[in-house]
Every structure is written in structure tokens, then in C-alpha cells.
Structure 1
Amino acid sequence: MRRLLSILMIIGLLGFAGLAFAEDQAQPLSPTLVEQPATAPAPLKIDTGDTAWMIVATAFVMLMTIPGLALFYGGLSKRKDTLNTIAMSFVTFCIVSVLWVVYGYTFAFGTDISGIIGSPAKILLAGVGVNSIADAAKTIPEYIFIVYQLTFAAITVALASGAYIERMKFSAWVLFSILWMTLAYLPIAHWVWGGGFLARLGALDFAGGTVVHINAGIAALVGALILGKRREMTLIPNNLTLVVTGAGLLWFGWFGFNAGSALAANGLAGAAFINTNTATAVAAVAWMLTEWMHSKKPTVLGLASGAVAGLVAITPAAGFVNITGALIIGIAAGVVSFLSVAVIKPKLGYDDTLDAFGIHGVAGTLGAILTGVFADPSINEAGKGLLYGNPGQLWTQIIAAGVTIVYTAVVTVIIFMIIKVFIGLRVDVEEEIEGLDESQHGEKAYNL
């Protein structure tokens, strides 16, 4: 403390001496100049256009979890597990909505502490008022920024459930949602978006490649390995109509996810919007064509899965790449994600029920790394990739992805071990055979 005070005193003395010297050397000002008042920096002001767009974008992202992801996952599961699968997404949104305003926001976006976590100063949103403006979003009310980021946290946790369905206790999932959001999502969100060490390193993640998709994808894989295989490992969707409806809602909501991450109604939001749609469309076609060659038939499930893979891969790059970059990332996402699901997963034998890792983990990692290749400074001056003379950005992206993978894997293992000790992870064999709708909730999705 004494050393700090000494340094501040020295700085103050030097500043005073410099000011005195400047005054001695100054030339007399003309009367005209003397009469001119000093120009003060313009105060921060809430922009109504930006605010309106961000309210809409926030609602779009909320739609992605319920009903988008809930219907997408619910339609993919077995009929006897549909309601339980939907409930996992629904309850997660409710839990995260509460925890985010209690402590989630401040630890993710509070004043940085040693590059690791945010300050607890805004627990229960202390100090946030109707005219408050967040450091990360200068033209919208802080309340809107808080809710916008809440929707990101909610869908990230819910995404991991796709690997656990049809065998995980509902009580275990509830506890997992609380612990994983706290111990995995909040630190990584702060590292990348809240001024933490990955942000200082220069990692680019426009809307959630590392924070959302790698994070959730690795949690999905690790949890699936710990839970073990289902008794019936087949994936025969009970309702493809729900799957396609859910995928369409995800695509629609993703415009709020990616274009909204510009945090303003501006040209960057427009670039993210068109990149998102382009990458998604070309990924769906790429998956379809790859599947057509591999399995001799193009499935509707493949089209929907390819679209989601494209949405995932373009997420970190949406506000950094041009349209050529978006096309290439989309094609890569469709092909690579299909191969990870249809070829690699069967060979390795793990039971990632709805391919949460195969799509979100794989496409998220692919998109995060390719951002380091295709980031175009003419789209966003904050990003300059390998093709534009900055090979170091690619290495930074690899480091950020690697750090996220390792940290999430370790934390997820610890969380699962804690849950296993206290309440157990899996339902009984009889309950799995009966179906989790009845065994966990006493209800049926379809009363036919």
C-alpha cells in the first residue's frame, strides 16, 4: 500500500511539474480563442433505436431456448421421453433467469479481478438503475444488456442436456444447471467478454463460439461419458415435425443471437445478420449433399442438423468475416459436423444422445478457429485474421479454444462427481424402460 501511495505521489508531482512547464511556455492566446469554451466529452446517452433493437434481439434469443431448443430436442427424443427432454430446457431457463440477476451478471461482467472473475459489486443488481449504462454497451440501458446476456447463459446450459437425455435424473439435471452455470459458464464468459485474460490475449468471439458452443459441447461429451450408454441407443425421432419447427425457431432466434451481439442497430449488426443466414443455408445444403453421398438419401433430419451446425460455426465469426468467409465456414461446418456424427461417433462408441458435442462442440471449435483465419478488418477493425496479415490471431483462437476445452472438461467432471455422491445421476433401469416422462414427472407428452 505504501509503495502504491509513493508511486501515485511521484506521478502527481511529475504531472504538476509538467503542467507548470507548459504554462510557462504557452504563447498568449488571441481574444477569439480565449472566448471559446473548452469542448467537454459528450456524455453517454441511451439511443432509442439501439435500445428498441436490443429489446427485440433479447426476445429472439429467449425464443431460441423455449420453445426453439425445447421442441428441437423434444422431437428428437423417444416418445416416452419427450416431455422430460422439453422440461430440461424449460427449467434451465427459469433457474438461470433467477441466478443471473442474483449473482451471475456481476461475476461475468463486473469489474475484472485478476483476469479471472468479475467483481461481486452488483449482486442482486445493486447500483443498477433505469438510466444505468453497462461498460460493454454504451447506448442501451444496462437492464437490457443484463437480460440479453441472461438469455445466452440459459441456452448454453440447456444445450448440454441433449447429450444426457433418456437416462439422467431430473433432480440431477436441476443441480447440474445451478453448479455448471456458476462454475463453468460464468468464468469463461468473463474471460472472453467481461475483460478477463482471454479478452486481453485478443481472442475473438463475436457471439459465443468459445463461451457458448465449445463450452456446452465439451460439457455434453464429458457428461455423456460419465453417465454411460442408454439401454436403447437408437436415435429415431418421435416427431420430425417438431424437430423442423424447433430448428426453424432456432434459425429465427439466432439473428438476435448474432446480429444482436453488435449491441447496436448498425452496419455491423447487418453484416452479422447476412453472414448468419448465409452460413446456415450453405451448411444445411453441405450436410444434405454429404449425407446423400454417404447414405444414398437426403434426410429432413440432416437438413435441420446441418442448419444448426452452420448457425453454431458462424456464431464466433459473424461480426468479423465477410460473405466469402461465411460461405467457407458454413460449408466446413456442414461437412465436418456430419462426419463427426455419422462416422466418428459410431467408431468411438460414446452415447451423445442428440449429438450436442458432434454439432455444438465440433462446429463451435471449427468456427472459433476459422475466425482466426477469415477475420476481415474491413468488416470489424477489432479483428484481423491470418488471410489479412495477422497469423498470430489464428494461434490466439487455438489457445482460447484449448483453454475452454480443458477448463470445461475438468469442471464438468467435478460437478458430475458431486451430483453422483449426493443424489445420484441416472434413473433406475425400470424407470428408463418406462420412460422419463412418467417416471420423473408422472405425465405423458402424448395422450393418444
Structure 2
Amino acid sequence: MPAEVILSDRKPRPSDAPAALAGLLVIDFTRVVAGPACTQTLADFGAEVIKIEQPIKGDDTRAYEHAELGGESAAFLSLNRNKQGMVLDLVIAQARDIARALIAKADIVVENFSSSVMEKYGLDYPTVSQTNPGLIYCSISAYGRTGPFAWRSGFDPIAQAESGFMSLNGFADGPPIRTGAPVVDFATGMSACNAILLALAARQRLGRGQHVEVALFDIALAMTGFSGMAYLMNGVNPSRTGNSPNDSPTVGVFDASDGPLYIACGNDRLCHRLMTQVLGRADLLTDPRFATRKARWTNRTQLRGILADIIAADRMEVWISRMNQAGVPVGRVRTVEQAFNAPEVRARDRVCRIPHPTAVSIPNVEPAITMQMTPAVEPRAAPRLGEHTTAILRARLGHSEQEIEAFRQQGAFGPIQTVA
């Protein structure tokens, strides 16, 4: 039986603390991962984010299989916190009118539709910026909004595969492996958020908004990092090295007698501490095979074998204690279950529970950004499909109940029963 994480109520936010992005209105046309990750960060720090979904099914992640609570999936709940939810059937003219009216009042629009969809609906940047020149309009796509590949759709693993990023993951004698979590999606969401914040800073100085763009492929290519740069410098295609960057013999996973550890001695100083203060094997540093970084790499198979035998002879806690005392970077190789039950998670208040209208409460993973003066806002659970549609129409656009009912009858919100 798996251990269950004990979730406490979230510690209250200081009542007098301002929010970093308070007063900004974001119209969110995104779905799946990268776009919602971007807009959730904006919402977490005070922007009013209105998430617009298609009627009936909404965001694809509502139906993802990982886990379900209160009628919503883990994926949707983890990516859409602090947003208001609205449904619009953009095929209907009246729904497009509503979308344009909201955009006219917005500071930011974020979209990750397939190429030309926003143009088809008259919601593209050249069109909507005519009436809102201060608008910051962020497009997230697979291969960019311009050029010969703009038509291509794609997802995180496709970007990992085509960029060369996937070729770096795995062991030399095995196939390329995608990362377990969709890291390109998340990195794209972070980059999109950065682009928006940069555009906000530019708007303060220059007085107008702009179109910003982030593509999964571009992000994945950039994430090849050192390996991509090395290829450009020496023309040698990098290979997979498993858990050890550059196949270093003193960096990677080593098995203690009761479980795996990750040790990261990536320079001479740390290697010296490992050999002398932790392992008690100063002789390894005088051995010509291991005396220098280059020698250690040349004889990496022999050195890794020696280290593996030593570490296998004692328990994880013994090695962790010694390495911490010596200042040698080390960590347990944990499962997700072990990680979420770890003392670091509790000490840093990384998880809590928050109210939910149909599940009473749901787990919440705190934003990974800490700001002293303008902390994240009090978290609200991701919205139910169409939960705030009528409230937004009343409060943001000033529509009467009669006008809202007319929109409903015209099909602007899809089938009537899908709207809360």
C-alpha cells in the first residue's frame, strides 16, 4: 500500500501583501500543457486570467488519465489554478464578438491554436491590436507562426525527437528516451511567461504592446545546451551517456547497500574531497590513472568500478552523512512517492490542500517561485468547465441577463446544459 502524503491547509498569505501582476487582464486561449503552464504562472502572481475553452469537452487535459478527483484530472488541476473558466464556441459569430470585446479590454492574450486558427476567427494580432495597441499577444506553437513549417502541429515528444534533445537521453547501448515529464512543454511555458514579462517591461518604456512568440522546437533545440554548442564547435555528434554527463566517472548513480545515490563530483576540488574525506582513498589521487581529470576520464571504467565497490559496502545514510559533512553533492534517487513524502517538501511547504467545489479539497503543489514582497496569491482550484461564463459577461462586459440568454440561445456557449 503506497504511503499517503499528509496534506495540511495552506498557510495564509499576508493580508496586506500586494500581488506582482495585480490589475492585468489575461485572455487565455491555451490548452494542454505549455500554454496553460504559462498562464497559470501569471494567475499565481495576481493577473486575472480568463480561460476560454470549447464547449462540451473543454481543454483536452480534462480527460487525461493520470488521476481524477472531483470530476477533474490531475493534469487539468495542476495547470489551471487561479483562473476563471469560460466557454465560447468560436464558430458562432456572437461568441467571436464576445472574445473580441474581452481582448479589447485585455493586457495580454495567450494562444496555442494550430496555425491560422486565430486568423480564421479574426482574433489574430494584426486584427485585434488595431483596437488595442497596448496588447501583448503571445503565440505558442510547435514550429513557429512564420516560415515553411508554421503549418505543422506538434507536441512535446515530437519536439524532443526532432531537435536532437531525445538523442541525448538514455544509455549508450540503448535507444533515445524522452523525459518522463514533458520538460519541453514546461520550458516553453516558462519561456512564454518570460517573453510576456519582457514585453510588459518594454510596454512601460515604449508605450505599446507587441506580438511575442515561442515555439516548442526552438526551446527543445536550445535545451540541447552544452551538447549542441559542442557540436557546433567540433562537428562531433554527441552520444548518450546515461546518468553521467560526459560519461564522468565521479558523477552519476551509485548503489549503496540499501539503495541508489546520485553523486556529483564534477571538478578536481570535489573529487579530492570525495577520495580523501569520504572514501578514505587518497591513494586514488596519486594513482597515475586517476591523478588528473583527463586521466580519470580516460580510465573511467576502472575508476567507476572501484568507486561502485566501495559505495556498495555501506548504507545510504552513512554515505550521505559523510558527503554532507565534506561538502560533496549527493542525493537519494527517489521515486515520486518518496519525493513527495520527503522532509525537504515539508520543510519548504511545497504541498498543501485547497478547497474544491465538488471534491471538498484537492492537493496543491505550490508555485516554484518565491517572492518576499509580492508572494503568490491564495490558490483557487482550476475552474469547472464554463464555471464563470455568465459572471464574466456581467462583470467584464456589462451584459444583462436578457443579453446573456440571447447569446445562449444563439449557441455562443454551445449546448445550454454545458454552461454553469
TM-score w.r.t. structure 1 length? 0.22
Choose between structure 1 and 2: higher helix proportion: 1
Choose between structure 1 and 2: higher strand proportion: 2
